[in-house]
Amino acid sequence: MMYCLAPMEGITGYIYRNAYNACFRPMDQYVTPFIALKHKSGLSTREVNDILPEHNRGMRVVPQILTNRADDFLKTAETLREYGYKEVNLNLGCPSGTVVSKGKGSGFLAKKEELDRFLEEISQGLLKLHMKLSIKTRIGKTEEEEFEELLDIYNKYPLSELIIHPRVQTDYYKNTPRLRAFGLAMEKSVSPVCYNGDLFRTEDVRTLKESWPELERLMLGRGVLANPFLVEMIEGPSRTDPHSAIRRLEDFHQLIYEGYRQVMSGDRNVLFKMKELWVYLSQPFLGAEPYMKRIRKAQRLSEYEAAVAGMLRNLEFDEMGGFRGF
């Protein structure tokens, strides 16, 4: 099985990726949070920092681009090629209202003729740049029946990978994944297919594999943010004891914490990033709420550090939270 870390804006940047890669079973591929190039402007400082080769050593990283303008896409791809990248990913999955209203992300899926022309132009441009293209997509704007026509469009182009989150844009992250549409991709896609969506426990992956034994690619997002041991657990029973698991979590947290402290000024900015991470990371713990309340209320790093120490020192993994076997 090939595993990929999903792009999650504000969370899975290079600091998180490096910490995860150092502490847990490395992902086979990491897709960056999207680069949203503004017309006639270059990459922002934040975007450059995220894709710098020296910030991504030892990892296979694929930058993701969010746009509906072929010239902007190819301009960004050319810049990324100068940094050594040989593949880019197109975001056709973001369900955010501000993105969709501009006809980007999953909003682009409603404009199939424009999308087809866009893919034709960027495919020709990437061929000249000797770069590969992968796509991360939802299955439609409002109805899953849209996906059959979208798949016909995707099948016209030489994609290195088709990553499918089987929800429509209007689902956002609610409702259950629409697996009938995903099954259509497994049957008819000419490109390698990767599944993304609601993979939180080993049972979720087992169920998916029972339906499609030939599936060999998974993109993990919210599930691995909550349980960074998830890939190891999918691959087989872990021999890591609970104390060792806690130490690895401590090391993981410390790498992220120190990484943000090095690049951000002021307690407030660092705390914002760490509090966002703990929204996910606290989920497998029993009785986490009192400690999360202290983390949320922390105004100084010293208060935050004390709250996190209490969390890791006093809580046990929830048997149903995905950490069974430690």
The predicted pLDDT at position 322 comes to 41
Does the pTM surpass 0.85? The reply is: yes
What are 158-178's pLDDT values in tens digits? 999 999 999 999 999 999 999
**Under 8 Å between Cβ of 35 and 12:** no
The predicted pLDDT at position 180 comes to 96
Smallest Cα–Cα separation from 165: which of 13, 31, 16? 31
Residues in the chain where the model's pLDDT stays below 50: 318-326
The predicted pLDDT at position 99 comes to 96
The predicted pLDDT at position 321 comes to 44
What are 179-226's pLDDT values in tens digits? 999 999 999 999 999 999 999 999 999 999 999 999 999 999 999 999
The predicted pLDDT at position 312 comes to 87
The predicted pLDDT at position 39 comes to 56
The CA–CA distances, whole Å, from 201 to 33, 195, 204, 227, 229 equal: 23, 15, 5, 9, 10
| Residue 306, φ and ψ in degrees, nearest 5 | -65, -40
Tokens 């996910």: give the residue: 280
The predicted pLDDT at position 320 comes to 40
**Under 8 Å between Cβ of 141 and 169:** yes
Q: How many CB atoms lie within 10 A of CB 55?
A: 16
